[in-house]
Structure 1
Amino acid sequence: MRSVLGFVVLILWSRVTVGEPQTNLLQDGCSLYNVRNASAFAATFNDTLADLRSSISASNSSLFATVHRPRAPQSVYALFQCRSYLSSADCLACFSAAEGHIRRCGAAHGGRVIYDGCFLRYESTLFFDQATPSENRNSCGVRNAATGGFTASVRSLVADLSAATPRIPKFFAAVEREGVLFVAQCVETVSEEGCEQCLAAAVGNVMRCLPSADGRALGAGCFMRYSDESFFPANRTVDLSPYLTNSGDSSRGTKFQGLLNFRYKDLKNATNNFSEKNKVGEGGFGDVYQVKSSTVKDVAFLMNHNFQVKFLGKGHLKNGTTVAIKRLAIAQTSKARADFQSEVKLISNIHHRNLVRLLGYSSKHENFLLVYEYMANNSLDKFIFGDKRGFLNWRQRFGIIVGMARGLSYLHQEFHIRIIHRDIKCSNILLDDDFQPRVADFGLARLLPEDKTHLSTVFAGTFGYTAPEYAIHGQLSEKVDTYGYGIVVLEIISGRQCNDLKLEPATQYIRDWAWKLYEQDRLLEMVDETMDPNDYSPEEVKRIIKIALLCTQFTVAARPTMSETVVLLLSQTDVALQLTRPAFIDASEMIDEEEAVE
């Protein structure tokens, strides 16, 4: 646990007695350091636990909740999760046991309680995205298995579950095979990569329990358990086969080993030597070429026009993977070439379920080409205000909103180098086979020539989505992405573009329109009319709109980080947000806004 130093841990090694809430204690611990203001902390902590209970109690199917109070006198972040096979009543009972136990930590900075049936943790700093594989431990039973084939069955199951679970929605799987019952679960707020890393550590720990008839691997990020006795209902098992195949999306098993250096000649031939006849557009950062279907043998081509992504054709690599290619216009200097090589190596190390993966490149001659994994459903703008508008339901839209936030949070805070996208908009959000969002074109703005300013023809952003401090003064921080994200969320909910001319002249910009509806308590008028009103909760939609408005606050400090945004989105209660009326951007007010920035 990175945020809790000197953590005291107690592991009970006795055999589990299975109960309905499964409140057999496996691990607990409290930070050795206390908060400075114990009374303020106690009040905030009590409210936090009450909110967690309310979230779990509010829905018959809610087995997971997060609550945070980052701006209280004493910050508290808390997370609770039940095993997905528990009933709602048993989950609530497990929470009651965990709540009573974790209160023993008093005024400690953090604490955790892990039972067979649930997990509760709190900290004074944000931890929701931490998988902490290094802290994973095991707990083994004292009885050995009766049959010799039991160990082989466990080994087979643990391999399958560790591979499949990170790709299963909500990171949970339960399987019964050859007399072995096995579950694997990751905390819902970690990334797919974090889940993979945590389960990799858990595999080693749980295997050390063999030949014991029951064993567990447990920690703050994930949980594994096997047994020869029943501990979950038979109807909660999961078919792992769809998550273990090598077909389809590269995130579901088809992996590249390292960054590929494509032959320039092959890519050149596929574009007919980048012929003017095939050229369909141009911009400051790239050219768009039409690719003849007869020339597309090995790759799929996805070109870009000033970051406006357009699909032109598709094909396959010899290993069956469909890919996409972008041709970039970069200064023809040795420094630019070196920067390109350095940047593609950096980007190729970025792996996250909500970021488009760079697979390879070519930098021969005067061209710079990037080869990416291919997204079958193209870009988000087609589904929000394009020809496929009305296709996405609320659950799909909400999943896209959360996935985008997670991807950006990874770029800003989890990758070893902070990367600011600078151009968040619907056309830069691609959708995979399952309509999961993949943020595209991150890192490319870093390749812009140094002598180009933010107001040049190669401006790394799009007006309407760009934060005012960056558009006017070139002041760049990760909060620029937060602003653009908020605009895109408003577009996803409303089905309107950020500068929709169909809106009233006084509220031409979607942020201004949303703010005026917020002031008049008419936020539901924003909702895309193509969505079924029975498909969403009005309160949930209004809560997400308020979060989007918070992200587009004029004052940089007032905007949340993207990791804080993820927390807000996943909080199942309406968080009290402090919103300040923005300075509306139009031709007559640009001067006033510029002065305000100064």
Structure 2
Amino acid sequence: METRGRWLWWLRRIVVAAAVSAWWQQANSEPQINLLNRGCSQYNATNTADFFNNLNATFSGLRTRLSGGGRRFATAEQARSSDPVYAMVQCRNYMSGPDCLACYDAAVAQIRNCSAANGARVIYDGCFLRYESNNFYDQTTLPGNVQICGNRTASQPAAFNAEAQTLLRDLETATPRINGYFAASTRQVSNLTVYGVAQCAETITQSGCRDCLAVAHGNIQGCLPNGDGRAIDAAYNILGATQLQGPNIYSYKDLKTATNNFSEENKLGEGGFGDVFKATLKNGNIVAVKKLDISYSRAKADFETEVRLISNVHHRNLVRLLGCCSKGSELLLVYEYMANGSLDRFLYGDKRGSLTWKQRFDIIFGTARGLAYLHEQYHVCIIHRDIKPSNILLDDEFQAKIADFGLARLLPENQSHVSTKFAGTLGYTAPEYAVHGHLSEKVDTYSFGVVILEIISGRRSSDMNADSDTEYLLEEAWKLYESGMHQKLADEALDSNEFKPEELKKMIEIALVCTQSPPSSRPTMSEILVTLLSDRSVEQQAPTRPSFSYANRVLVETTSVSTGSSTSNATASISQFTGR
């Protein structure tokens, strides 16, 4: 105990493979470069010249951001290369600017000891620095968390313990609700004062911050009534997204039992890629099991390679692939279970009309964020090819999570779908892909635009206008927008007081911009995110209707999977395109 008996308690959680620390001790104004934790990936970058150029540029960017405006948190990345670098730094919010920079400089010098490792982290008392080859900014906590306790016991253990517990609860409750996720408080223990600080990374969600603080709270209680201690996430001593770790391998027998022999009553849905079943594992966890039947010759080898890649894709708006199983021609994928099911239930299914305007906007935004990650932020570009409401799942808080985002990668290059009937899905397939087989990320952008129209209208893309036997949703949207009657597209179940007319117009404009032709006229998903978050309309880039309207009755048929028939060879079976 220090002579003045002043105790500092710190509770801090950043992200998986980032620092979670909590301690109480006397506060000092200094860089606080006592090393708590350091780790390097066991994998090295493939092109060291590119890697070090990217790493140096990223570290420079972080320092520039910390140097301006008194910031204590920053991210930077160099993502467009074979060896991308994503980095994050965070200083304690109470630190002075010079102390924060001094701590950061020490962390950079320390982390360079990892040489060409494609991921590393350094945790000091005063700051935290991490870089990875994948975007990790929104990661939260993982199982396996421990505390590091000091060897000094408070002079008044009972009183100290009670006040510290109260302070823990207060900070756990308050911090996620405060802008910037930073809170500080004190509580009196006789002639002592307990100082508390809680901080979360600015890039995680409010619920993510709440979850992380709950974990850290539970861990740090094990140190009481010690006078100092820290809670550190065990994930820091694992490498997380730094390396491509293998997926969990499940027993076919166990999955068969968990799904009650893949019974109809356990079926959650079905589609071109396969049927999905609810499964209750032996440990009581509920998961979703997708049953595929891919019979081409290299199926198993390609399956294992791609599942290894896909199982390392972690994002708040992507359904997590937990593992896989293969038996003969049957290939099973095990996903996290989403209790609210798919979006189509809430648009035109048994839950129709129950979504508020805010929920609909959040779903649109979350879907865009997930696609932006797949297209631009993961170290390889993943094109979904089948964006539609049934492939957008909703968690308990109605946040969107894209499902089946990796399944297209499991198919041969000359094949776009497992189904023997469709290549893509009726009403969502971009014309250049349906007609010519031209595949780019703009195919997903087109489908996303159609989904926006479905979300705000509560109608299927393939439903015709009641007043016309030729106008499908996309065609009707263009017509109403051009005539200034776009408000007629709003779902009748929506409360008109929940949104402004200009907000509705903006959503329709974004949807139509996404469905323009040629594909180069469509925005990237990151550009869409910026537009969604801005207050301005998209009138500066107002949508221009294509010279033809892609009728949603267009049907692209393929021959059986075993023949490997290409989409571009199926143009004879496409129904006519309708002129303007």
Same fold flag (TM > 0.5): yes
Q: Given the superposition, is the C-alpha separation of residues 153 and 527 from structure 1 closer, same or farther in structure 2, using an over 3 Å criterion?
A: farther
* 1:572 is the counterpart of 2:527: no
The answer (yes or no) to whether the contact 1:261–1:362 under 8 Å persists in 2 is yes
- 1:259 to 2:213 alignment: no
| Contact preservation (8 Å) 2:65, 2:74 | no
Match of 1:209 in 2: none
- In 2: Cα distance, 1:319 partner to 1:166 partner: 33
The question of whether the paired residues in 1 share the 8 Å contact of 2:167 and 2:186 is answered with no
Q: What SS does the corresponding residue of 1:266 show, helix, strand or coil? A: helix
Q: CA deviation at 1:502?
A: 4.0
Q: Is the CA contact (8 Å cut-off) linking 2:456 and 2:491 kept in structure 1?
A: yes
Residues 234-265 of structure 1, C-alpha deviations (whole Å, 9 max, x = no match) = xxxxxxxxxx9xxxxxxxxxxxx973211112
Unaligned runs of 5+ in 2: 1-27, 31-63, 100-153, 188-193, 217-232, 234-244, 555-570
Contact 2:464–2:473, Cα closer than 8 Å, also in 1: no
Partners in 2 of 1:120 and 1:407 — Cα distance? 22
Deviations 1:544-593 (A, max 9, x none): 11111111112211111111111110112224223111221248997986
Decide whether aligned partners of structure 1 residues 504 and 584 sit closer, same or farther in structure 2, where only a CA change above 3 A counts: farther
Structure-2 change in CA distance of 1:452 and 1:315 (3 Å):
closer
Q: CA, structure 1 residues 391+136, in 2 after alignment: closer, same or farther (shift >3 Å)?
A: same
Cα-to-partner distance string for 1:515-566 (whole Å, 9 max, x where unaligned) = 1111111111111010111111221121111111111112211111111111
Q: What is the CA–CA distance in structure 2 between the aligned matches of 1:177 and 1:458, rounded to whole Å? A: 66
Given the alignment of the two structures, is residue 390 of structure 1 paired with residue 353 of structure 2, yes or no? Answer: yes
Contact 1:420 1:442 survives alignment (8 Å): yes
- Which protein has greater RCO, CA pairs closer than 8 Å, 6+ apart? 2
- Asked if residue 549 in structure 1 is aligned to residue 558 in structure 2, the reply is no
CA contact under 8 A between 1:161 and 1:184: conserved in structure 2? no
- Correspondence for 1:368: 331
CA offsets per residue over residues 318-370 of structure 1, 9 Å max, x none?
4443201010010153x210111111111110111110001111112331111
Kindly indicate whether the alpha-carbon contact (under 8 Å) linking 1:303 and 1:325 is maintained by their aligned counterparts in 2. no
**How many pairs align?**
402
The whole-number CA distance in structure 2 between the counterparts of 1:153 and 1:474 is 67
Q: 1:166 to 1:321 in 2, by over 3 A?
A: farther
Partner of 2:526: 563
The TM-score with structure 1 as length reference comes to: 0.57
Q: Secondary structure at the match of 2:424?
A: coil
CA distance in 1, matches of 2:280, 2:365: 30
State the secondary structure of the residue aligned to 1:505: coil
Rate the CA distance shift 1:550–1:159 in 2: closer, same or farther, 3 A.
Answer: farther
Counterpart AA for 2:253? K
CA, structure 1 residues 591+436, in 2 after alignment: closer, same or farther (shift >3 Å)? closer
Q: 1:506 to 1:133 in 2, by over 3 A?
A: same
Find the aligned partners of 2:474 and 2:254 in 1 and give their Cα distance: 45
Query: d(CA) in 1 for partners of 2:161 and 2:357?
Result: 44
Deviation at 1:460, TM superposition (A): 4.7
| 1:165–1:171 contact (8 Å) kept in structure 2 | no
Following the alignment from structure 1 to structure 2, what is the Cα–Cα distance between the partners of residues 571 and 154? 44
State the one-letter code of the partner of 1:172.
Y
Contact 1:389 1:495 in 2 (8 A): yes
Report deviation, 1:451.
5.1
Name 2:197's counterpart in structure 1. 182
Amino acid at match of 2:542: Q
Cα distance, 1:362–1:370 mapped onto 2, change above 3 Å: same
Q: Percent identity?
A: 45
d(CA) in 2 for partners of 1:181, 1:519: 58
Aligned partners of 1:139, 1:581: CA distance in 2, in Å?
50
Name which of 271, 285, 305 aligns with 1:305: 271
CA contact (8 A) 1:479 1:561 kept: yes
Q: What's the CA shift string for 1:281-321, capped at 9, x where partnerless? A: xxxxxxxx5345xxxxxxx75453314876x6x45334443
Q: Does 1:411 align with 2:384?
A: no
Matches of 2:282 and 2:69, distance apart in 1:
47
Contact 1:411 1:420 in 2 (8 A): yes
Q: C-alpha distance in 2, partners of 1:373/1:549?
A: 33
Superposition TM-score, scaled by structure 2 size: 0.58
Q: How far did 1:472 drift?
A: 0.7
Moved more, 348-357 or 316-325: 316-325
User: Per-residue CA shift, 1:27-79, capped at 9, x if unaligned?
Assistant: xxxxxxxxxxxxxxxxxxxxxxxxxxxxxxxxxxxxxxxxxxxxxxxxxxxxx
Q: Given the alignment of the two structures, is residue 472 of structure 1 paired with residue 472 of structure 2, yes or no?
A: no
Q: How does 1:52-91 map to 2 (within 5 A)?
A: none
Deviations 1:148-196 (A, max 9, x none): 99x9999999999999999879873646464435353544xx4669x98
Counterpart residue number, 1:437: 400
Which residue number in structure 1 is paired with residue 285 of structure 2?
A: 321
Decide whether aligned partners of structure 1 residues 485 and 398 sit closer, same or farther in structure 2, where only a CA change above 3 A counts: same
User: Is 1:172 the counterpart of 2:181 in the alignment?
Assistant: yes
Counterpart of 1:467 in structure 2: which amino acid?
A: A
Which of 308, 317, 324 is the equivalent residue of 1:345? 308
For each residue in 1:125-157, what CA deviation from the matched residue of structure 2 results, as whole angstroms up to 9, or x when unmatched? 99xxx99644444576599xxx999x9999999
Residue ranges of structure 1 left out of the alignment (5+ in a row): 1-13, 17-108, 204-243, 245-256, 274-288, 293-299
Q: 1:154/1:494 Cα in 2 relative to 1: closer, same or farther (>3 Å)?
A: farther
Q: 1:420/1:176 Cα in 2 relative to 1: closer, same or farther (>3 Å)?
A: same
Q: CA deviation at 1:424?
A: 0.2
Q: How much is the aligned-residue C-alpha RMSD, in angstroms?
A: 4.9
Distance 1:15 1:152, change over 3 A: farther
Match of 1:499? 462
Q: Which amino acid aligns with 1:435?
A: F
The secondary structure found in structure 2 opposite 1:363 is strand
The secondary structure found in structure 2 opposite 1:345 is helix
Corresponding residue of 2:48: none
**Distance across 2 between alignment mates of 1:550 and 1:165:** 41
Which amino acid in the other structure matches residue 290 of structure 1?
A: S
Contact 2:323–2:334 (CA under 8 A) maintained in structure 1: yes
Which of 276, 295, 312 is residue 331 of structure 1 equivalent to? 295
* Cα distance change of structure 1 residues 396 and 454 upon mapping to structure 2, 3 Å threshold: closer
In structure 1, what is the Cα distance between the partners aligned to 2:353 and 2:90? 44
C-alpha spacing 1:174/1:258, structure 2 compared with 1 (3 Å): farther
Residue 584 of structure 1 is matched in structure 2 by 549
Pick closer, same or farther for the CA change 1:553–1:507 going to 2, 3 Å.
farther
What is the match of residue 488 of structure 1?
451
